[in-house]
Structure 1
């Protein structure tokens, strides 16, 4: 599947590569997918294919390369990776779709794409154009900071300690020059490929095309935005009225299910679904991600998403 590509200028002049997997029909709901680190839009190829096979002509499916990744351009300096610019990118893509008759999108985010999605739906200017949100393996960073202060007993202390261990790689990424050298030498790539195997279903895996820019430029996402929210999360926490579905892989080695289920990170209209799989479940089990995303979008379109309040289920 080769999606059609167009370009969009963000507020600061960065060029974003926008990839449409379908013709854009204003009468259909539009799913806008945001990838994480160190990926590009191709991480969504399998999910897009499954959505189109399971539900022909039901959706417009769109993804874009985050600034600095894929064929999108990179900002001139690290400050261009801060959240205001990332939120502006989401807004620019939504505005681009709006010029083609699409007045609302249903966001789907993974890893850093999920973190950006949370930032977007807690910004009232962007949230007004978002019908629902499905988050996978990426919390709002302020919610994560509050989670790290949430231990009240031995069980929750264990949850916090586990997440601190799983987040330890972040300190390496904040170190100048060392991670760049690791990725350029190939060592960092091999380590991530090994971690990718944890939680796999055993199915044949498609090749995920990544370039050096995906590994190296994406480090600025960490350096521009961390560790501030972990050390001093905002108070009160940002909120949203967007209906949120959290898909929490049980074997994620970077973002624990406990963090993803943390009640401080869940909108009033929501559900949490514990799912089988590891961190890159979007590549390993695209059929499941497509099915659950479709369920949530359809509930949102019908006006019933999260109507019962806090929800928990398993898939």
Structure 2
């Protein structure tokens, strides 16, 4: 474990699951809300067993052992992207392969569509978190009954966002203990039925993380950027079929990124990273290996609806 000071003075805690060997590709994982770096423990164990990667995660500002900014503006995308770049520089391994889940995935998209930070990223695997401008475009994409149903489904699945944007009410719900119970129940949807690793969450994970929503939403949904942000980074999207918050249709809507990407439907719910860490590790390792060998350039869009287990 190590720490670094972000550009605005926030302390970010970095957790290394392996020694950092410059001869090995480095996978840098970013967690979502209301998690901390421990959400990656199972995936990291699987990747470490393979013996060919450096594996690192960090606590996003305000979560886990990282400190929180003084006000909500410290959670805006420019600062989150700067944090990703600062962590990469701190590791001193050159380019990294990003792996993001939920809000970690949203931050990852912001990073790979930022020219400065994208130059430090060799590949990106996104799980259950869209690029927010792409999401805004998706909500305007209905052209027939099927796509209209997809949009309506996503609108219903996104209703929790408006609760999180409400002043003080979410804080009261989480301080009462009800919020953590609800999230625990939602976590069980789509599970494989296998043994579950406990996910330690602190009150700061629940409360501070609300500022991710409040600092960055709903702007991109109401008025997505035009043109949409683009990236040259090779992107893999793993879309859990039973995700209650980010529908597979939205995750397959990959905006204006170039042909160096693939989208794989996988079994599982929103917290598939803790329920099926072997699946996440296998697909992540495959994407890292293909990117390192250069074969990802040849994947194109040939498997946007591939069904995986």
Q: Is the 8 A contact 1:29 1:105 kept in 2?
A: yes
**How far is the alpha carbon of 1:268 from its aligned partner?**
2.4
Write out aligned runs for 1:169-188 (5 A).
169-188=160-179
Deviation per residue, 1:61-91 (Å, 9 max, x gap):
0000000000000000000000000001001
Q: Does 1:52 align with 2:43?
A: no
Q: Does 1:119 align with 2:117?
A: no
CA distance in structure 2 between the partners assigned to 1:301 and 1:162 by the alignment: 37
What is aligned with 1:273? 264
Deviation per residue, 1:250-277 (Å, 9 max, x gap):
0000000000001426442100000000
Q: Does 1:157 align with 2:148?
A: yes
CA distance in structure 2 between the partners assigned to 1:283 and 1:257 by the alignment: 19
**How far is the alpha carbon of 1:185 from its aligned partner?**
0.3
Most deviating of 125-134 and 264-273: 264-273
Distance 1:282 1:231, change over 3 A: same
What is aligned with 1:296? 287
Distance 1:284 1:266, change over 3 A: farther
CA distance in structure 2 between the partners assigned to 1:7 and 1:120 by the alignment: 20
Q: Is the 8 A contact 2:232 2:257 kept in 1?
A: no
What is aligned with 1:68? 62
* Residue 13 of structure 2, aligned match among 2, 6, 17: 17
* Residue 109 of structure 1, aligned match among 100, 118, 136: 100
Q: Does 1:144 align with 2:135?
A: yes
Q: Does 1:232 align with 2:223?
A: yes
Deviation per residue, 1:96-135 (Å, 9 max, x gap):
012xxx0110000000000000000000100101000000
Q: Does 1:94 align with 2:76?
A: no
CA distance in structure 2 between the partners assigned to 1:216 and 1:267 by the alignment: 37
Distance 1:103 1:263, change over 3 A: closer
Provide TM-score, normalisation by structure 1. 0.96
Aligned CA-pair RMSD: 0.8
What is aligned with 2:248? 257
SS of the aligned residue for 1:132 comes to strand
> Deviating runs (4+, > 3 A) in structure 1?
none
Q: Does 1:31 align with 2:22?
A: no
Q: Is the 8 A contact 1:244 1:267 kept in 2?
A: no
Aligned residues: 306
Deviation per residue, 1:204-223 (Å, 9 max, x gap):
11110000000000000000
Q: Is the 8 A contact 2:37 2:64 kept in 1?
A: yes
Q: Is the 8 A contact 2:262 2:299 kept in 1?
A: no
Q: Is the 8 A contact 2:259 2:299 kept in 1?
A: no
CA distance in structure 1 between the partners assigned to 2:264 and 2:297 by the alignment: 12
What is aligned with 1:314? 307
Gaps of 5+ in 1: none
Q: Does 1:78 align with 2:72?
A: yes
CA distance in structure 1 between the partners assigned to 2:256 and 2:151 by the alignment: 15
CA distance in structure 1 between the partners assigned to 2:184 and 2:41 by the alignment: 19
Deviation per residue, 1:228-248 (Å, 9 max, x gap):
000000000000000000000
**How far is the alpha carbon of 1:311 from its aligned partner?**
3.3
